Amino acid sequence: MIKFNFPVGYHHLHKTKIIDFQLNRWYSFGYARLEDMIEAGKRINTVDDWKEKMIRQAEKVIHVG
């Protein structure tokens, strides 16, 4: 059986609580690295640009690794 250790803790990644929660959720489920969520949090300005910035972040990670 494969063991998976989920990250523990909550990080302040964005001033808007719902965006902060979502960034932490992606990290805590193991879908994203903390460094990538920190970077995304710095780039996201509003709830309106959340989706666009997350897609750009995902594309960057796919290309860079």
- Mind spelling out the 3-state secondary structure of 7-65? CCCCCCCCCCHHHHHHHHHHHHCCCCCHHHHHHHHHHCCCHHHHHHHHHHHHHHHHHHC
Is 45 part of any domain?
Answer: yes
Among candidate residues 61, 60, 47, the one with its CA nearest the CA of residue 14: 47
- Average pLDDT for the chain: 92
- The structure tokens listed for 27 are 């990290």
Contact indicator for 23, 40 with CB cutoff of 8 Å: yes
Residue 7 has pLDDT above 90, yes or no: no
**Tens-digit pLDDT profile for residues 9-38:** 899 999 999 999 999 999 998 889 999 999
Is 29 part of any domain?
Answer: no
Is 48 part of any domain?
Answer: yes
Give me the domain span that covers residue 53: 35-65
Is 2 part of any domain?
Answer: no
pTM for the model stands at 0.84
